[in-house]
């Protein structure tokens, strides 16, 4: 119950048993195609270029910037946590001139502030669900008013946990991770790119491994696929299976399950003395942050939860280290039985005064 | 029996069943440390920074260049196949001025030509085992005479297949892939960096995801590890297990098994009318290339091998597409029974005149 990796779905673990095919084997290519179709359903998009990057979420972030930035481009980035900050670093290394729109950690960013920050940036970028704070940033208003800019959204902790509407919100570039609400181990980063963004692809991005011009010749299109790099076959089996679980349950039902677990945590934790830390109205159901109550030691308490109950929860990152805890309820972990166990464990912990 | 992915060892497939721990869980950190110790044995090195990059072999290549190149640096690269060529692309994107030392595909590169190509390059780079041609390039002489340059070697298809002696050969930077002779599915790129190279790390490389300054704070050192990106937990279990198989069998024995399979193929294939294509004396046992005999259709014959016998072999890449086949015998696939089956299948194929 940390901020990820979540527990994988049993069907995902089974999928790892599939024999490892070659990355150009027709049978594997159809599994990849089906994975991408499933991703389109979960992203709620018709984007042709929708596939998993062969590395973890941060590589999805890097792909999203390096393929669309020419040195000197102006980029506006919202920063209210670790991952907004990481976006600034990645964009800067790609040569962008970054305008940071800061907000206090734990509070949401007013979309109007991003729209007002620069008259015509090439990209406006924002984290949808800030894993470091448990706060949701709203996207729809940015998509409606972005003008000529591309809208780039980090959906690592939001995809399959809260609604993500790529087409309806007019998002141009979005990436996620497998190890959160998709219930798959870490290792891949689902990415989706709008037709509008495809027309602005940089011809030769600084990264060869993440070069979308080359990768698209392998992951999409009819007929023969051009080899770029060896696809991570087994992880793709796992993602294929995880998406299958989500779509068999139904995307609405999966989102509902995450919401119910979050609602229960949000209503019960304060009763146990754990004050909710994220701004009201913008709290993520899949990632709950609480202030560490006085009298409880951060590290010792978390170690006790791990040793005594087999529960991992996350500490705070950066400026809020030692001040907050992060409780994840994502993927296969998002079950009411886990919420019940954690609440019981926290009650015992509080009573014992660890 | 293609050029990779090879069949994974059974113990590797079992390792995927391990519960997914968090990337900061002490139990996981000790597994990561043990994986890195095992990698040191297989690389035959004492290099402190030895660990798997969280992406496939080509990302290992990119890591190896972007962390050691300042724009304008002179880099000498040997090119006698696809992967030497890829090195040039990656180095150029990192801002290097590249001197290419070309050799015919299928022939080895004389190390002296690389040493003579530039008076004092910052890096001399070479592919040890060219996956596109089945040719070995010799490394030792480069290490002995490199002067002030760093020696960077692609060991994707050599590690655990033929001897790789990082310390004895004075190699500074080397990367590999999991999906070849290590018998693990694709997804990670083992990397090792000498102390001498560590002193020349670029402070802020263009890639955030592959930034060794940051990653080393997570993968090595005593005490608490600093979070950089979420480690690909399940793939690391798989690599840990694959290395366990290699070291339990014994590295010498594993290399011997690859050599025996290669020897058998090299002696039997010409009898069946398949001329060995790579230069004599530099043929890789783990990857055998043959000219496609007249009368056999490239694509149809390979499809027939897949459909009738369940055997995948690789076609030629780039300029040798349609002219050569690539037969891999790596990892768990490197068993004499597989050689026997392939030889039988090829005999039937030739007789049928596909």
Contact A328, A334 (CB under 8 A): no
pLDDT for A222 equals 72
- Count of residues making up chain A: 354
pLDDT for A354 equals 58
Tell me the residue ranges of DSSP E strands in chain B.
49-53, 74-79, 97-102, 123-127, 129-130, 135-136, 150-154, 173-175, 189-193, 287-291, 314-315, 324-328
Reported as a single tens digit per residue, the pLDDT across B64-123 is 999 999 999 999 999 999 999 999 999 999 999 999 999 999 999 999 999 999 999 999
CATH architecture of A250-352: Alpha-Beta Complex (3.90)
pLDDT of A338 over the 90 cut: yes
pLDDT of B354 over the 70 cut: no
As for the ipTM of the complex, it is: 0.97
Reported as a single tens digit per residue, the pLDDT across A164-188 is 999 999 999 999 999 999 999 999 9
pLDDT of A10 over the 70 cut: yes
In chain B, residues with a C-beta closer than 8 Å to the C-beta of A62 are: 207-209
Report percent pLDDT > 70 for chain B. Answer: 99
Q: For B251-352, give the CATH class.
A: alpha beta
| pTM for the model | 0.97
Mean pLDDT of B204-228: 92
Tell me how far apart the alpha carbons of residues B218 and B210 are, in angstroms, rounded to a whole number. Answer: 12
Q: CATH number of the domain at B10-248, please?
A: 3.40.640.10
Distance from the Cα of B72 to chain A's closest Cα (Å) equals: 15
Chain A 146-175, residues with CB within 8 Å of chain B CB atoms: none
Reported as a single tens digit per residue, the pLDDT across B28-53 is 999 999 999 999 999 999 999 999 99
Distance from the Cα of B153 to chain A's closest Cα (Å) equals: 18
pLDDT for B353 equals 64
Average pLDDT, chain B: 97
- Asked if the Cβ–Cβ distance from A16 to B20 is below 8 Å, we say no
Tell me how far apart the alpha carbons of residues A37 and A192 are, in angstroms, rounded to a whole number. Answer: 11
pLDDT of A72 over the 90 cut: yes
CB contacts < 8 A, A to B, total: 161
- Domain ranges across chain A: 10-248, 250-352
Structure confidence at residue B352 as a pLDDT band (50, 70, 90): confident
Report percent pLDDT > 90 for chain A. Answer: 96
B25 touches chain A (CB under 8 A): yes
Ranking A212-226, B4-18, B109-123 by mean pLDDT, the lowest is A212-226
Largest Cα–Cα separation, chain B: 64
Distance from the Cα of B168 to chain A's closest Cα (Å) equals: 30
pLDDT of A311 over the 70 cut: yes
Reported as a single tens digit per residue, the pLDDT across B139-171 is 999 999 999 999 999 999 999 999 999 999 999
A275 touches chain B (CB under 8 A): no
A238 touches chain B (CB under 8 A): yes
- Topology agreement, domain B10-248 and domain B251-352: no
pLDDT for A353 equals 64
Closest CA to B59 of B161, B191, B153, B151: B191
Concatenated DSSP letters for A43-56? HT---SEEEEESB-
Which one-letter DSSP state was computed for residue B24? T
Can you give the C-alpha Rg of chain A in angstroms? 20
Mean pLDDT of B120-137: 98
A213 touches chain B (CB under 8 A): no
């Amino acid at each position: 119950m940390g901020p990820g990796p979540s527990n994988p779905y049993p069907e995902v673990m089974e999928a790892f048993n599939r024999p490892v095919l070659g990355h150009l084997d027709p049978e594997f290519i159809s599994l990849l195609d089906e994975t991408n179709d499933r991703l389109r359903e979960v992203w709620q998009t018709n984007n042709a270029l929708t596939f998993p990057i062969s590395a973890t979420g941060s590589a999805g972030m890097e792909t999203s910037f390096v393929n669309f930035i020419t040195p000197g481009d102006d980029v506006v980035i919202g920063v209210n946590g670790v991952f907004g900050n990481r976006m600034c670093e990645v964009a800067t290394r790609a040569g962008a001139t970054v305008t940071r729109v800061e907000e206090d950690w734990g509070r949401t960013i007013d979309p109007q502030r991003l729209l007002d920050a620069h008259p015509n940036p090439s990209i406006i970028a924002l984290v949808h669900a800030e894993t470091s704070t448990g706060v949701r940033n709203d996207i729809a208003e940015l998509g409606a008013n972005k003008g000529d800019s591309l809208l780039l959204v980090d959906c690592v902790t939001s995809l399959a946990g809260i609604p993500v509407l790529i087409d309806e919100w007019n998002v141009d570039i979005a990436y996620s991770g497998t190890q959160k609400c998709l219930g798959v181990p870490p290792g891949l980063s689902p990415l989706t790119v709008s037709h509008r963004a495809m027309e602005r692809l940089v011809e030769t991005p600084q990264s060869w491994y993440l070069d979308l011009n080359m990768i698209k010749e392998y992951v999409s299109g009819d007929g023969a696929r051009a080899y770029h790099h060896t696809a991570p076959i087994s992880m793709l089996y796992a993602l294929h299976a995880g998406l299958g679980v989500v779509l068999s349950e139904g995307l609405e039902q999966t989102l509902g399950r995450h919401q119910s677990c979050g609602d229960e945590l949000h209503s019960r934790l304060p009763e146990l003395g754990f004050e909710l830390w994220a701004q009201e109205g913008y709290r993520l159901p899949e990632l709950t942050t609480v202030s560490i109550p006085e009298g409880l030691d951060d590290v010792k308490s978390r170690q006790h939860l791990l040793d005594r109950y087999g529960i991992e929860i996350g500490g705070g990152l950066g400026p809020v280290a030692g001040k907050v805890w992060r409780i994840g309820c994502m993927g296969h972990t998002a079950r009411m039985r886990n919420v019940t166990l954690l609440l019981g464990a926290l009650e015992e912990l509080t009573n014992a005064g660890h």
